[in-house]
Amino acid sequence: MKRISLVVMALAVSFAASAQNVQDAAADAAKAILEAPAEQQKVEKPKYWTESLKTQLNFSQTSLTNWAAGGDNTVSLQGYIDANANWKKKEMFWNNRLQLDYGFLYASSKPILQKSTDRIYLESKWGYKTDKMKKFYFSANYDFKSQFSSGWDYKTPGSIDGLEGAPLRQAWRDARVLKSNLLSPAYTNLALGIDWAPAKWLSVNIAPLTGGFVIVKDAELRKSYSMKVKESTTDQMLADANAALGAAASKTEKDAAAIALGNLYRAAKFEFGAQVKADAKVNVNDNFSYSTQLVVFVNYLDIKHCPRINWDNRISWKLAKYFNLTFATNLIYDDKIMIKNDKDIDMYPDGKARVQFKETLSIGFTYIIASKK
């Protein structure tokens, strides 16, 4: 009987210990749950938007005193913004991009503020993919291109001997020739087609249905951008306006005659054709990247002209946390833009189509904001 009692007592003690262990484990688990961060207890919601903002500011200054080799005192400033907001959900995406680029410089040899770079570019692209199209999207692509302010061709004044201060600056202003302005020109297009994305870094948009407008707000620039004459304009009116421009002597007379001639042309023209746009961005590593965009447009309504070509390239090299070296190029060919050159002005008094090319090398402060994926 005594042995039985001992066995029963041993079992009771063992059961009590096991119960205590279970109770302690449950208490520890409850405590861990209560002490866990709140964000771990919440179910993460799907994120459809990704945003990024890149800003860059470049500044340079040169001052010379008794410098035997010669040169100019110069100050230059350039600002660049690249903003992106992209949305993607299942088979659909919507990508938006805004690029703003503006810079100016001042040189002692030309005592007026000169614009060095100026660009407005807005793009919005929507796409939809069906189950049978793995790398192809039906797409609609809208883009707008223009510039912020007046762009000039700075000609050397005929006589500036003895001029200083305000009279000297005015002489340089009178000698310059207007080449562009806000909405002069401006290009806006809506392209319907297919977007092909064979890789994450490459996208090719093929749009056989592309319609848009070329806008030239400033009357004196419409002829050089090959805008169409108004229906009310006669050949005699054009001849008289060109003769008045050729006979003008002073700057005031030339400006008035150029505007009168430009008013005989339309401020906007419609284009309808096909467009191919290729975008590529390669991040070689965390510090080096290359991006390019090639756009080719053919106008069905004016097929005799060559395709319009825009090709942008940008190389970015991160030198330090907030400092980048940037090399950018922009090539444009549009045989409807007449560009004058003093070297062949006698042969082409109204100018001729030429390849336009711009190159920029800069080092400056860069700050990037990007949302987490």
pLDDT of residue 21: 55
* Averaged pLDDT, 213-230: 96
pLDDT score of 4 more than 70: no
Domain CATH code at residue 283: 2.40.230
- The reply to whether 260 falls in a domain is no
pLDDT of residue 373: 57
pLDDT of residue 230: 96
pLDDT score of 16 more than 50: no
* 264-314 pLDDT tens trace: 999 999 999 999 999 999 999 989 999 999 999 999 999 999 999 999 999
- The reply to whether 250 falls in a domain is no
Question: What does pTM read for this prediction?
Answer: 0.85
* 258: confidence class by pLDDT, cuts 50, 70, 90: very high
Structural domains in the chain (count) = 2
Same domain membership, residue 73 and residue 9: no
Same domain membership, residue 159 and residue 22: no
Same domain membership, residue 214 and residue 282: yes
pLDDT score of 164 more than 90: no
Same domain membership, residue 24 and residue 126: no
Same domain membership, residue 156 and residue 72: yes
Same domain membership, residue 80 and residue 57: yes
- The reply to whether 287 falls in a domain is yes
- The reply to whether 146 falls in a domain is yes
pLDDT of residue 44: 72
* 5: confidence class by pLDDT, cuts 50, 70, 90: low
- The reply to whether 235 falls in a domain is no
Same domain membership, residue 14 and residue 55: no
CB 213 within 8 A of CB 185: no
Domain that includes residue 220, residue range: 49-228+265-370
pLDDT of residue 250: 86
* 72: confidence class by pLDDT, cuts 50, 70, 90: confident
pLDDT of residue 161: 82
pLDDT of residue 62: 87
Same domain membership, residue 55 and residue 21: no
Task: Quote the CA–CA distance of 206 and 100 in Å, as a whole number.
Answer: 26
Same domain membership, residue 36 and residue 184: no
Same domain membership, residue 35 and residue 181: no
Higher pLDDT, 161 or 275: 275
Q: Which residue has the tokens 């990508």?
A: 95
pLDDT of residue 299: 97
* 20-43 pLDDT tens trace: 554 565 556 556 555 655 555 556
Least confident of 141-155, 208-222, 359-373: 359-373
- The reply to whether 136 falls in a domain is yes
- The reply to whether 248 falls in a domain is no
- The reply to whether 93 falls in a domain is yes
* 202: confidence class by pLDDT, cuts 50, 70, 90: very high
pLDDT of residue 10: 47
Same domain membership, residue 150 and residue 28: no
Looking at every residue in the chain, the average pLDDT score rounds to: 88
Same domain membership, residue 83 and residue 14: no
Higher pLDDT, 76 or 130: 76
* 11: confidence class by pLDDT, cuts 50, 70, 90: very low
